């Protein structure tokens, strides 16, 4: 196992010249604005024509806009929202878009719940302005979406080597939030003292709906390797895709297991 050092291309090229591996198991998942290996590893592996696991450079980081457009094409529910930058009148923008409270203020690409706290869910214009300005001060812009109040699910999907048009979809899990919490913010995901549980979805009809949705968006976005989708269900039973995360965290140590690890174990 190697911890990739930057620049990734030089590091991987040196490994390839020294060693002869059949395949490279790529677990790097850094984002564009993080100083850690991510898509640069994928691009290096592709340029060097080395066989590897996980997302390719096309699928590695689908934008919110790409995901939303594909969701619309595939008739998949997606939260209504918009992106706004520092200095813009966010109250006016959400009013023009017809967005309704409660809303949620996210990083413009919303990966790994970065920058999100319990207060990222906003109930009025004053809270919206406060969270928007905080997010813009950190990241330059923010994504504002209508908050889907209800249940949350996560689903892992992976390529089927025998038929890439029929990827394998693992059994969905439901996120069981502790009292007073309603969504996965940073502390909910990474604070070991937070009691967030996972439960297998038992309703066969709901399992089928979730699996079908994830398969459609995965294939629509040119899925490669594997990914994990997060989905919300509103009070009326409608499903909304929050995001799909290529190269989701897997193969973690027992004390640091992620939801994808549990899905692989339970399936």
Q: Domain of 176: which CATH number?
A: 3.30.470.20
Asked if residue 66 has pLDDT above 90, the reply is yes
Q: What is the CATH number of the domain that holds 88?
A: 3.30.1490.20
Please indicate, yes or no, if residue 56 is contained in any of the structural domains.
no
Torsion of CA 259, 261, 266, 267, to 10 degrees: 100
pLDDT at 126: 97
Contacts of 105 (CB under 8 A, 6+ apart): 116, 120, 122, 128, 131, 132, 135, 142, 143, 144
Q: Are residues 162 and 32 in the same domain?
A: no
pLDDT at 39: 95
Is residue 155 within 8 Å of 167, Cβ to Cβ?
A: no
Triad 237, 247, 2: Cα angle to 5°? 155
| Number of domains the chain is built from | 3
- pTM of this prediction? 0.92
Average pLDDT in the 10-31 region? 93
Percentage of the chain with pLDDT > 90?
78
Average pLDDT in the 13-29 region? 94
Phi, psi of 39 (to 5 degrees): -65, -25
Residues 92-138: tens digit of each pLDDT: 999 999 999 999 999 887 665 677 888 999 999 999 999 999 999 99
Q: Are residues 167 and 249 in the same domain?
A: yes
Asked if residue 267 has pLDDT above 80, the reply is no
| Domain containing residue 69 | 64-77+149-266
Q: Are residues 180 and 259 in the same domain?
A: yes
Q: Are residues 73 and 199 in the same domain?
A: yes
Please indicate, yes or no, if residue 2 is contained in any of the structural domains.
no
Please indicate, yes or no, if residue 161 is contained in any of the structural domains.
yes
Is residue 122 within 8 Å of 103, Cβ to Cβ?
A: yes
pLDDT at 179: 82
Q: Which helix (H) or strand (E) holds 240?
A: strand 239-246
pLDDT at 12: 97
Is residue 130 within 8 Å of 177, Cβ to Cβ?
A: no
Q: Are residues 68 and 181 in the same domain?
A: yes
Q: Are residues 123 and 224 in the same domain?
A: no
Asked if residue 210 has pLDDT above 70, the reply is yes
pLDDT at 189: 67
- Please choose, from the candidates 171, 196, 169, the residue with its C-alpha nearest in 3D space to the C-alpha of residue 183: 196
d(CA 54, CA 71): 22
Please indicate, yes or no, if residue 244 is contained in any of the structural domains.
yes
In the predicted model, what is the mean pLDDT of the chain? Answer: 92
């Amino acid at each position: 196992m190697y911890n990739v050092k930057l620049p990734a291309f030089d590091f991987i090229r040196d490994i390839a010249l020294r060693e002869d591996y059949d395949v490279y198991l790529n677990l790097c998942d850094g984002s564009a604005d993080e100083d850690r290996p991510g898509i640069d590893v994928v691009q290096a592996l592709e340029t060097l024509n080395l066989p590897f696991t996980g997302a390719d450079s096309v699928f590695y980081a689908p934008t919110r806009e790409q995901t939303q457009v594909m969701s619309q094409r595939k008739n998949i529910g997606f939260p209504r929202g918009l992106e706004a930058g520092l200095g813009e009148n966010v109250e006016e923008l959400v009013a023009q878009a017809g967005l309704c409270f409660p809303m949620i203020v996210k990083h413009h690409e919303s990966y790994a719940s970065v920058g999100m706290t319990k207060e990222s869910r906003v109930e009025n214009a004053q809270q919206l302005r406060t969270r928007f300005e905080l997010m813009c001060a950190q990241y330059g812009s923010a994504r504002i979406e209508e908050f889907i109040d209800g249940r949350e699910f996560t689903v892992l999907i992976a390529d089927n080597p025998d038929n890439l048009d029929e990827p394998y979809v693992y059994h969905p899990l439901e996120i069981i939030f502790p009292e007073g919490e309603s969504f996965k913010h940073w502390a909910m995901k990474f604070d070991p003292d937070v009691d967030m549980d996972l439960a297998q979805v038992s309703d066969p009809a709901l399992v089928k709906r979730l699996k079908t949705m994830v398969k459609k968006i995965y294939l629509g976005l040119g899925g490669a390797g594997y990914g994990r989708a997060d989905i919300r269900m509103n009070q009326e039973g409608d499903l909304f895709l929050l995001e799909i995360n290529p190269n989701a965290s897997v193969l973690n140590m027992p004390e640091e297991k992620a939801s994808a690890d549990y899905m692989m174990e339970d399936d």
